[in-house]
Amino acid sequence: MLRAAALDRASLPARRDFPQIVAMPAYTLVTFGCQMNQHDSDRIGEVLRGIGYTEVAEPANADLVLLNTCSIREKAEQKLRSEVGRIGLLKRAKPSLVIGVAGCMAQQEGERLAKRMPQIDFMLGPDNIAELPSILQQVELGAPPRIRTVFDLDAPQFLNAQAEPGRVGATAFVTIMKGCDERCTYCVVPYTRGPERYRPAREILAEVRRLVDAGVREVTLLGQTVNSYRDPAGSLPVAPGTGESHFKHTLRAVALEDESEFPALLRAICTEVPELQRLRYTSPHPRHLTWSLILAHRDLPALARHVHMPVQSGSDRVLKRMLRRYTVDEYVERVTALRSAVPGVTFSTDVIVGFPGETHEDFAATLALAERVKFTGFFGFTYSERPNTPALKLADDVPEEEKSARLSQIFELTDRHRREHLQSLVGTTEIVLGERRGKNGDFMGRSERNEIVHFACAGDAIGQMLPVRIREAYDNSLRAEVEPGFVLAPGADRPSPAPGPSARRALPVVVGP
């Protein structure tokens, strides 16, 4: 039998609404998909621990198993069915086991899935996480499958990260917006996550402050088109360069339309939380990589020298059919402008191969684009039809074998680019943020440009910014040694407040022997 304990959090129902604590119920959370889903799972975990649950790794030891689903690509339903089938066997042996499904699959297909999989006790949309305690209570009282998948359009809610001691790592995600107003013709997100809603800048700043005070050193701002952000409270000053267009290919009117308050938010974070060592964001839409954002990159030392900017295709014809709202030249122009403002900045990207109507020439154009930009990170996908998307009207006419062959070909090229890039770093010194220990006791961290670096360290390198000398390049990562003379010291990972643009590449405080 499930037992919910009380939670003293303003966003959740009052203490008296819960039955008394009898025993500590246990939950297991299985997460599919992107960072956005991982971030939702973190919030779900906080809500559950807030009402007295403890986390267990094995579903066999749990009272509640929650599957946080993703439906961005095909096979999502098969994956969910097989997980529910597996956990359903446990439920047969222990009928009190509660099975919940959260995330995009629940949002999109809740009713239908609940009918098809009677083992499921409840469905929860991404906007309904705060309602989890009351849903569990109803399940406990024997209610039929509950489906709660309502977008919070009138009063968007963003659950605050709790910065729980012992759970905060060196890095953290902070959601700044949800939903998407683009209508890329292949994409299900606008239907599973709803329209764009933005979190007030004050709330974002408070969360970054809380996380940094708890030990976080690097924050990644999250949003589907993260750089279309606007502060709903209008509290941000206008960022330098706003409304200016220095791009030959972009008409001024369009440039103004593409403008956002994202650069102003980045500046506010760096000014108000100067102890934050590194700031990243994902995923930006190329059309919002405006001049004001380029100036923010130039001016803010904490802003990482790496941008993950999905391009999807290197053919204008395909981009048009995808409704991406930029041309290949416009994409490259922005990459070039950022590279001139921030020397050494690297780019990674997403590409879909085999979009309806993609010819050999279109695909060759995508290879040519990869050759021009030389991405250091690459995520490639074969096109798959998604429910409700406009591209369903186009014939999915590239055979699956051809899609797979194209994917292998582009992976081969981009793997080579990444290997060459990593090789070029051997012998250089990079600043690495220690993130976690590897299996062999070594540490794993990331450089400012997002390269994965393995290194040995006598002390605890987690949460420390360390200068390391790159010794060896592997296919996907680097091996390095901590620079001789560098000593880990309390406070050594804290930078001097608000360095100016000239200090951009300055090391954090490093204590000599």
- Phi then psi for residue 65, to 5 deg, are -115, 125
Name which of residues 279 to 298 contact ligand SAM (CB under 6 A). 283, 285
Region label for 325, one of left (φ > 0), alpha (ψ between -120 and 50) or beta (otherwise): left
| Interacting span for ligand SAM (CB under 6 A) from 127-135, 185-193, 290-298, 438-446 | 185-193
Residue 384 interacting entry, from ligand SAM, ligand SF4, none, C-beta within 5 to 8 Å by type:
ligand SAM
- Residue 177 or 266 with smaller CB distance to ligand SAM: 177
- Residue 182 or 481 with smaller CB distance to ligand SF4: 182
- Residue 52 or 103 with smaller CB distance to ligand SAM: 103
Q: Per rule CB under 6 A, is residue 194 in the interface with ligand SAM?
A: no
Reduce the DSSP state of residue 291 to 3 states and report it.
helix
Residue 377 interacting entry, from ligand SF4, ligand SAM, none, C-beta within 5 to 8 Å by type:
none
Q: Per rule CB under 6 A, is residue 350 in the interface with ligand SAM?
A: yes
Taking Cα atoms as reference points, which of 212, 220, 41, 170 lies closest to residue 437? 170
Torsion over CA: 228, 232, 236, 237 (sign): positive
- Residue 30 or 34 with smaller CB distance to ligand SF4: 34
| Interacting span for ligand SAM (CB under 6 A) from 240-248, 382-390, 435-443, 444-452 | 382-390
Residue 190 interacting entry, from ligand SF4, ligand SAM, none, C-beta within 5 to 8 Å by type:
ligand SF4
The CA radius of gyration of the chain, in Å to the nearest whole number, is 24
Output the six-digit token pair for 388: 């409700």
Torsion over CA: 461, 464, 469, 472 (sign): positive
| Interacting span for ligand SAM (CB under 6 A) from 78-86, 377-385, 398-406, 434-442 | 377-385
For residues 230 and 236, give the distance between their C-alpha atoms in angstroms, rounded to a whole number. 9
| Interacting span for ligand SAM (CB under 6 A) from 41-49, 198-206, 379-387, 493-501 | 379-387
Residue 383 interacting entry, from ligand SAM, ligand SF4, none, C-beta within 5 to 8 Å by type:
ligand SAM
| Interacting span for ligand SAM (CB under 6 A) from 43-51, 161-169, 211-219, 381-389 | 381-389
CA distances (Å), origin 484, targets 358, 441, 469, 494: 53, 20, 9, 20
Contacts with ligand SAM by CB under 6 A: the residue count is 18
- Residue 355 or 455 with smaller CB distance to ligand SF4: 355
- Phi then psi for residue 171, to 5 deg, are -125, 155
Cβ neighbors of 419 (< 8 A, separation 6 or more) are 473, 475
Q: Per rule CB under 6 A, is residue 186 in the interface with ligand SAM?
A: yes
The helices-and-strands tally (H runs, E runs) of the chain is 13, 19
User: Minimal distance in Å, beta carbon 416 to ligand SAM?
Assistant: 21
The torsion of the CA quartet 346, 340, 229, 192, rounded to 10 degrees, works out to -40
β-pair type (26-31, 64-69): parallel
Q: Per rule CB under 6 A, is residue 381 in the interface with ligand SAM?
A: yes
- Residue 288 or 297 with smaller CB distance to ligand SAM: 288
For residues 87 and 89, give the distance between their C-alpha atoms in angstroms, rounded to a whole number. 5
Output the six-digit token pair for 502: 């000239």
Output the six-digit token pair for 203: 């709330």
For residues 474 and 374, give the distance between their C-alpha atoms in angstroms, rounded to a whole number. 18
CB 290 within 8 A of CB 243: no
Output the six-digit token pair for 419: 């290997």
- Residue 381 or 411 with smaller CB distance to ligand SAM: 381
Q: How would you write 268-322 as a 3-class SS string?
A: HHHHHCCCCCEEEEECCCHHHCCHHHHHHHHHCCCECCEEECCCECCCHHHHHHH
User: DSSP character for 20?
Assistant: P
Residue 73 interacting entry, from ligand SF4, ligand SAM, none, C-beta within 5 to 8 Å by type:
ligand SAM
User: Minimal distance in Å, beta carbon 201 to ligand SF4?
Assistant: 22
- Residue 123 or 189 with smaller CB distance to ligand SAM: 189
User: Minimal distance in Å, beta carbon 190 to ligand SAM?
Assistant: 10
126 HSE (CA, 13 A, CB side):
28
Q: Per rule CB under 6 A, is residue 158 in the interface with ligand SAM?
A: no
- Residue 286 or 445 with smaller CB distance to ligand SF4: 286
The site for ligand SF4 (CB under 6 A) is made up of 180, 182, 184, 187, 189-190, 224-225, 285
User: Minimal distance in Å, beta carbon 155 to ligand SAM?
Assistant: 24
Output the six-digit token pair for 327: 């041309």
**Binds ligand SAM (CB under 6 A): choice among 247, 383, 455, 486:** 383
Taking Cα atoms as reference points, which of 487, 505, 485 lies closest to residue 495? 505
Name which of residues 305 to 324 contact ligand SAM (CB under 6 A). 310, 312
Q: Per rule CB under 6 A, is residue 38 in the interface with ligand SAM?
A: no
Strand segments, DSSP code E, in 199-289 are: 218-222, 278-282
Q: Per rule CB under 6 A, is residue 187 in the interface with ligand SAM?
A: yes
Residue 72 interacting entry, from ligand SF4, ligand SAM, none, C-beta within 5 to 8 Å by type:
ligand SAM
- Residue 386 or 449 with smaller CB distance to ligand SF4: 386
For residues 307 and 125, give the distance between their C-alpha atoms in angstroms, rounded to a whole number. 29
- Residue 130 or 413 with smaller CB distance to ligand SAM: 413
For residues 328 and 334, give the distance between their C-alpha atoms in angstroms, rounded to a whole number. 10
Q: Which residues bind to ligand SAM, rule: CB under 6 A?
A: 34, 72-73, 186-187, 189, 224-225, 283, 285, 310, 312, 350, 352, 381, 383-384, 386
